[in-house]
Structure 1
Amino acid sequence: MELRLLLTLVLSTHITGFSAEISVFVQTGDSVQLDIQTQQLPEFDLLAWTNNKSEAIVRYNSDSKRVRPHDSYKDRVVFNDKTFSLTLKNMQKNDSGLYTARTTGLITTDLVSYRVSVIDSVKAPVLTVNSNWSSSDSCTVNFTCRAHELMINSSYQNNRCSPQEVTSHINTLILDCSKKYIICNHSNPVSWKQDRINITQLCEDKDKNLKSIHSPTLGKAFGSLCIVLIFFILIVLYFKCKKGSQEEVEGNTVYAQVEVSFKLLFIISLQTSLICCHVV
């Protein structure tokens, strides 16, 4: 059984000239170069690059040195008559498939075969912070990294987070952190994009938010108490001045003094009120 398997592999290698397909990914709209891996080619009359539709993309005649591209590829191919490599331009998704270099002479030999996949560039990931702040001194942040059908939920605490990676087919989502940033990378074999959040700024904003929650409450309470106290004093002064003005006095001199005193006290109270509002 083992001898039969070994013989099959040897015959296959002799006939085809290669043992496996080479996978190649190319971004939509880009070019791809397909090289012949064999250093020494067998003698041949004709060398052709074909696609999985059995179309000869380009033919090269070793005697005449003539290069003949297929009509549908005429403006999209570059053939190197020294290395026999093939460059395909402006690749589209319907160009995905198997590309084979084959020589024809006394024998037909497949030199190399490429499985080409034309794919789009990735979309940018989205990094979302779920801000459930606590009064803790440490900056703890819960966040979600999402792209395509992939998602990672994690948290940042004590200046670090656990690196995570998830994959789906050819897409990969990687989450990592530094002392300054939370970083989310989305990639495929032809492109990558990133979203990041400045964790330093985020923690500073957290401290400001916590202060704004506690400090204004105390300030408003103090301000309200201050204004109530001032109005209470004004009411007391008003009635005292009114009572004093009704007492028997000689002429209108005392009444005028009382009225002046009330106005003076009113001005002082008003200034005190303004000071309280400024402090709050």
Structure 2
Amino acid sequence: MMINHHLKFLLFSLIFKTGFSAEISVFVLTGDSVELDIQTKLPEFEELTWIYNKLESIVKYYSKFNIVNSYPAYNNRAILNETTFSLILENMQKKDSGLYTARINGQIINDIVTYRISVLDAVKAPVLTVNSVMFSSNSCTVNFTCRTQDLVINSNYQNNTCSQEEVTSQENNTLILSCSEELIMCNYSNPVSWKKDETKIKQLCVNKENEETKAKPTLLWLYVLIAAIVMLILVGIGIVIHRHTRKTGTRVVSETVYAQVEGQEMKTTNCDAHTYDVPERLQTPTQEEMEVNNPTTTYCTVGQHKKPTNPIEPMDHTIYSSVCKQPPNKQTVI
């Protein structure tokens, strides 16, 4: 009967000689099946039994009756090949780890072969983290960390290479860090599984170079923007100061002088047969009046023309006024 399809995973074996028997180490992925071979030509025997941890029988073959007896704990999980007498164990779990021995009974009792099986879970993928990238005209330096649940490697990539490093845990899990011109690779494995994480190193360096190239004009525009903002602030301050100065600055208010005609008697002269009114000059206002009435308006009194004594003589009705102004030093300052 062909049984190779029952074997899902048999990674490798390590053989240790102990007396006349051999102990073979086998690692199995959780949930997979494994086939345990006899590894040698058997002598005549009456019974052949596969035993777990040298105490618990899994299956027994009776050569005289050509009968196979399976024990309840392994029903539907253990299959014996009646031709080669190899044992297939299905759906292996971590509790199934231990020693599996093929023993024959007859004229003599002999352990033909012993397997030490380790059932392991698959490893989880490692995490490769880029911590920093430093780019110069001639080289690119990358600092990175390769991490798993129980193992860590920290290293640097420089000048297109990095030193390969390897660490191993007590559970036979191995973390390996390596580099090429193209990649940084982080590999994590155990005897039954393997996972990796990697980063394209050239892409990191190219992106960093582009960032630095773009950063230079961006920084220049930033300086220009800051200078423009400062100029606007200064112009705004200047406008505010100018307006404030205009509102609170010194202004000279012009004085308006008016002439007012009063009922003063006319003074007559015989110079040119015309009569002129000579106005009386308004007295200069005191300082107190100037401070109270601001701005100050000064009026001059003009004498009114008196009727002529001789009604026959023609009369010139023209009125002349003399306007009085304050001296320049009496102007009011607001």
Place the TM-score, normalised by the shorter chain, in its bin: 0.7 to 0.9
* Paired residue type of 2:165: Q
Q: RMSD of the TM alignment (CA)?
A: 2.6
Whether contact under 8 Å (2:135, 2:205) holds in the other structure is: no
- C-alpha distance in 2 between matches for 1:124 and 1:115: 27
Which residue is 1:36 aligned to? 38
- C-alpha distance in 2 between matches for 1:195 and 1:52: 39
Q: 1:232 to 1:97 in 2, by over 3 A?
A: closer
How far the C-alpha of 1:213 sits from its partner, in A, is 3.2
How far the C-alpha of 1:232 sits from its partner, in A, is 10
Whether contact under 8 Å (2:155, 2:162) holds in the other structure is: yes
Is 2:158 aligned against 1:172?
A: no
Is 2:153 aligned against 1:152?
A: yes
Q: Which has the larger share of helix?
A: 1
- C-alpha distance in 1 between matches for 2:95 and 2:145: 35
Which residue is 1:94 aligned to? 95
Q: 1:198 to 1:171 in 2, by over 3 A?
A: same
- C-alpha distance in 1 between matches for 2:133 and 2:206: 15
How far the C-alpha of 1:223 sits from its partner, in A, is 4.6
Which residue is 1:26 aligned to? 28
How far the C-alpha of 1:227 sits from its partner, in A, is 7.8
How far the C-alpha of 1:158 sits from its partner, in A, is 1.2
Whether contact under 8 Å (2:79, 2:88) holds in the other structure is: yes
List alignment gaps of at least 5 residues for structure 2.
1-17, 239-334
* Paired residue type of 2:81: N
* TM-score of the pair, normalised by structure 1: 0.72
Which residue is 2:139 aligned to? 138
Superposed counterparts of 1:1-280, under 5 Å: 12-13=19-20, 18=21, 20-38=22-40, 40-52=41-53, 54-133=55-134, 135-169=136-170, 170-223=172-225, 225=227
Provide Cα deviations, 1:196-219, integer angstroms capped at 9, x if missing partner: 111121112211222243221112
Instruction: Give the secondary-structure state (helix, strand or coil) at the position aligned to 1:140.
Output: strand
Select the structure with the greater relative contact order (CA < 8 A; seq sep ≥ 6).
1
Consecutive aligned runs of 4 or more in structure 1 exceeding 6 Å deviation: 226-233
Provide Cα deviations, 1:177-199, integer angstroms capped at 9, x if missing partner: 12211000000000000001111
* Paired residue type of 1:171: N
* TM-score of the pair, normalised by structure 2: 0.61
Whether contact under 8 Å (2:133, 2:208) holds in the other structure is: no
How far the C-alpha of 1:53 sits from its partner, in A, is 5.7
Q: Which moved more, 1:205-214 or 1:137-146?
A: 205-214
Whether contact under 8 Å (2:135, 2:209) holds in the other structure is: no
List alignment gaps of at least 5 residues for structure 1.
1-10, 236-280
Larger Rg: 2
